[in-house]
Chain A
Amino acid sequence: MKKAFRTFRHTADIGFFVYGTTLEELYTNAAYAFYKVLTDFKPSILNKKKKIIIKGITKEELWVKWFNELIFQFEVNSLMLFKLESFIISKSILKAVGYFQKVKDIEVKTGVKAATYHKASVEKHKNGFRGTIILDV
């Protein structure tokens, strides 16, 4: 099975390479990478549907803002993404419908303050895409 993501060394924070054969898969795997840092809990019940719209000028900006959206939804609304549908992405806008689970009292391993722009990138890679991100924890 193809790897969804792998970590790389960063002294104080956590860095990831995320993979996907399509951009939709890349962004979904980005959520898995983020949650793997956060908790061992895996969302399985879909009880919240949300329209997601993220705007940015560059694809890197969209990428960073995606992680920051996931951080916000978890921290403020206790929501963990299970899957994406109706995913549309261009250079400057991402639109999707996210199916989330509202979680309560799960064990959280590591707090994530934000996704940073340091080394953030999305590029074509082999037969798909690779995204790079460093999370400030």
Chain B
Amino acid sequence: MKTVLEKIDSYRYRIPKTGNMNVEGIIYSSVPLIEAMEGDESPAQVANVATLDGIVRYSLAMPDIHWGYGFPIGGVAAFDVEEGVISPGGVGYDINCGVRVIRTGLEIEETKPRLRELLYTLKSKIPSGVGSKGKIKLSKEDEKNVLKEGAKWAVANGFGNSSDLEKIEDNGSVPGADPEEVSSRALERGKDQLGTLGSGNHFVEVGYVDEIYLEKEAKIMGLFKGGITIIIHTGSRGLGHQVCDDYIAVMNDYIRKNKITLPDRQLANAPIKSKEGVRYLKAMRSAMNFAWANRQIITYLTRVSFEEHFKASPKSLAMDLVYDVSHNTAKEETFLVDGKKKKLLVLRKGATRAYGPGFDIIPEIYRGIGQPVIVPGDMGRCSYILVGTQKAVDDTFGSTCHGAGRIMSRSQAKKKINAREVVNSLEKEGIFVAADSFATIAEEVPQAYKDVSMVVDVVQGAGISKKVAKFKPLAILKG
């Protein structure tokens, strides 16, 4: 049965509260994006999330929404911490998949001449692809420290600068992590994967600032037109995937024992304050910290690559972290609900935190302008950096989109599109791509994704984020 969508305004569609829904659903989108969603089951998933206990106000989805499992990708839902539930499917398998931007003092003209070489230097230093193993060998003790300390562990062990930490959500280390709640299987999967990119839609992209929309904000971020930037997109690797899988099984047990019916098994959940809920949050936070350590180490390897290529130190190249955002998380945050401050657990699955100016959780340097939000597009078009707004805090639990969102399945992309032709055509435009296999490139071609500009126009139009700058790609290392 097709899910009914009622247009609220130019950028929002309502799913009316029906059946077992506790709240209504709201999808941020536009007419062309909604039309492109024909056949995609994600609106039904927004409605399913609305049936969960303790959900507050509405079940949300951002304009990059697409079919997930249980929760849609692009979904946001907030739960009362006293009465609500936590579902590992609401965070996803790649816990704390996220993205960061590094700015540099380099310009296009000095970078373009030897781009292919730079790309291959990055490829030689950053382990990528399925089953890639990192160069860092962790003892059991080390691994547990990574899970407790996150990016702080990485910096303390020589992978970056302490000044990087304040430019990461939660300073790259969320409290409340407990490695004892992470299974030995998850630890096994994670132990050789720290400092690796992974595969699929993960990447390291060298690009440049193509356009600036907000001069003051861009200046504070250290961005200038023609300036070279690096975007890094990766997450918690096999460790995070296993944590999610382990706790879906735990929640399934809970659901069974308590005879709870769900519209989708992947929505298996338990009360936030239950033994199962508390254990999952401790394990999830451990995986979040692993992902931050991972992105920090890849940043270090990127700086080393640039140093080797340009024969200049990262400091002299002014390779500074702009910001690091997370896409798949559950975080305790406080919002006004019916006029009163209330602690909520906000689940963002393929969505980004986007607080406006004035909030303490934003680094001091950005407190006057709002939290930076990074929205990567596909490898042929562009990516954006934006800032969050008070309207996001008021309307979407401080959330916005996270990327372009897929419109074509991986098998369709491989069947319909010739990856080699795509690579050749990108090269003619001056964009170089390196990957472990052509199959990866075929699955990740620009045609498989929505146009990220259309996605970003919705969040801008709805007032939940503001565009600061547009980046264009030059060289991409695909996972």
Partner-B contacts on A (CB < 8 A): 7, 9-14, 38, 57, 60-61, 65, 68, 72, 74-76, 78, 107-114, 116-120, 134, 136-137
Complex contacts, A108 vs chain B, CB 8 Å = 129-131, 199, 436-437
A106: nearest chain-B partner, CB-CB: B131
A41 nearest CB across to chain B (Å): 12
Q: Say which residue of B40, B248, B249 sits within 8 Å of A11 (CB atoms).
A: B40
Chain B residues, Cβ within 8 Å of A118: 68-70, 264-266
Contacts of B93 in A (CB 8 A): 113-114, 116, 136
Q: Which residues of A contact B185 (CB under 8 A)?
A: 72
B-chain residues with CB within 8 Å of residue A38 when the two chains form the complex? 130
Indicate whether A7 sits within 8 Å of B411 (C-beta atoms), given known contacts A38-B130, A110-B200.
yes
Shortest distance from the beta carbon of B75 to any chain A beta carbon, whole Å: 13
CB pair B479–A113 under 8 Å, yes or no, is no
**Which of A9, A57, A134 is B412 in contact with, Cβ under 8 Å?**
A9
CA of A12 to CA of B40, assembled, Å = 10
From B189, B200, B244, B253, residue with most partner A Cβ within 10 Å: B200
With CB as the reference atom, state the residue of chain B lying closest to A69: B185
A11 x B241 contact (CB < 8 A): no
Contact assessment for B69 and A116 in the assembled complex, using a CB-CB cutoff below 8 Å: yes
- Which residue of chain A has the shortest Cβ distance to B73 in the bound complex? A12
Q: How far is the CB of B56 from chain A (nearest CB, A)?
A: 25
A111 to B409, CA, bound (A): 15
Q: How far is the CB of B34 from chain A (nearest CB, A)?
A: 15
Q: In the assembled complex, how far is the CB of residue A65 from the closest CB belonging to chain B, in whole angstroms?
A: 8
User: Do B252 and A110 touch (CB < 8 A)?
Assistant: no
Also in contact, A11 and B131, with CB within 8 A (given A61-B249, A110-B439, A113-B94): no
Q: What total of A-B pairs shows CB separation below 8 Å?
A: 110
Question: B439–A11 contact, CB under 8 A?
Answer: no
One of A10, A110, A116 near B130 (C-beta < 8 A): A110
* Mask of B237-266 contacts with A, CB within 8 angstroms, 1/0: 010011011001100110010000000111
Verify B249–A13 contact, CB threshold 8 A.
no
Given A14-B410, A117-B268, A111 contacting B70 (CB threshold 8 A):
no
For the complex, give the distance between the alpha carbons of A135 and B266 in Å: 13
> When chains A and B are docked, how far (Å) is the Cα of A9 from the Cα of B38?
13
- The answer to whether the Cβ of B462 comes within 8 Å of any Cβ in the partner chain is no
* Bound Cα distance from A117 to B93, whole angstroms: 12
A97 to B129: give the CA distance in the assembly, Å: 30
Contact A61 to B252, CB < 8 A, known contacts A9-B411, A76-B189, A136-B93: yes
Q: Which of A9, A72, A114 has the most CB of B within 10 A?
A: A114
**CB contact list, B395-416 vs A, under 8 A:** 406-412
Besides the known contacts A14-B411, A57-B256, A114-B93, 10 further A-B residue pairs in the complex with CB atoms under 8 A apart: A12-B73, A12-B406, A72-B242, A76-B189, A108-B436, A109-B439, A110-B200, A110-B443, A116-B69, A137-B200
Distance in angstroms from B132 CB to nearest chain A CB is 9
Residue B427 lies at the interface, judged by CB distance under 8 Å to chain A: no
Query: In the complex, which residues of chain A have a beta carbon less than 8 angstroms from the beta carbon of B323?
Result: none
The answer on a CB contact under 8 Å between B69 and A13 is yes
Chain A residues with CB under 8 A of B252: 57, 61, 117
Given known A75-B189, A116-B266, contact A110–B69 (CB-CB < 8 A): no
CA gap between A45 and B240 in the complex, in Å:
32
Instruction: Assess whether B188 is interfacial by the CB under 8 Å rule.
Output: yes
Nearest first, the 4 A-B pairs at minimum CB distance are A118-B69, A111-B199, A109-B439, A108-B130
B33 to chain A minimum Cβ distance, whole angstroms, is 13
B366 within 8 A of A: no
